[in-house]
Structure 1
Amino acid sequence: MVRVFFLCLLALSAAAQAPLAPDNKALYGVINRASGRSLDVARAATTSGAATVQWEFTHAASQQWHLVLIREGGEYYRLEAKHSGLCLTLEVNPTAPAGANTPLVQRPFTGGLGQQWRLVPTGIV
């Protein structure tokens, strides 16, 4: 069973909200609130560095993600693609301005900050 949730991948102020606790054995679809489309690895590629795109949610393995807690008691997760085992990675370019069309790709987990994601309640959809 794939669970669908809306994920806000923005840094927000720390409000007094109960933390979300996803089931670590479940698979999730990540659906964008504005477009209604899902986070998908382009062409279901299994290679490191493959781009992610948004696409109609079809329950494809390249649209299913494990949310794995990085550190016990922590609040950050890695998003691991079901089809490849690779993690959603913000491809940071140190010479580019902050937020300058930074691509999201899949890569092996290294623990880098670009692979750590926090779940933030965004309200009722």
Structure 2
Amino acid sequence: MMVKTSVEWYLDAVNKALICSRKVKKREISQLSDDICGLEEEYGHELSREEIEAQFGSPEEAAKGFLKVTEIREKISAKRIIAICLIVVCAVIIGYVGYEFIQERKFADGYAVETPVYNIEEVPSEVTNPPEDAKVY
């Protein structure tokens, strides 16, 4: 099992705290990683968790610093509402088209189309005794 460095731990924690798209997360985590690496070069050693948190704040604070949580939640809510509306509209259209198709198939020229239904005792012999050269699946 590989032990995470303090930088990896911090970046993972910030990544989990961010509420946004993968694209935005990747960009923000990359920027934070660059900032931490620059700080390590300046100090000349690998930073501990405490040093990183002293410089950038807790992972939750860093995540809030990158993005305003309320704006993101509003965008997510708007996307969900739009997605739900599209799903409902598609379901209504599919239901209507399906209903019309069924109605068209049931009645041809205004008359009901009969589908033969057999009682188990009334099954024609050609169904129970297929020709010898017939393929039965």
Compute the TM-score of the two structures, normalised by the length of structure 2: 0.19
Q: Relative to total residues, which structure has the larger strand share, 1 or 2?
A: 1
Rg bigger for which structure? Answer: 2
> TM-score, structure 1 length as denominator?
0.20
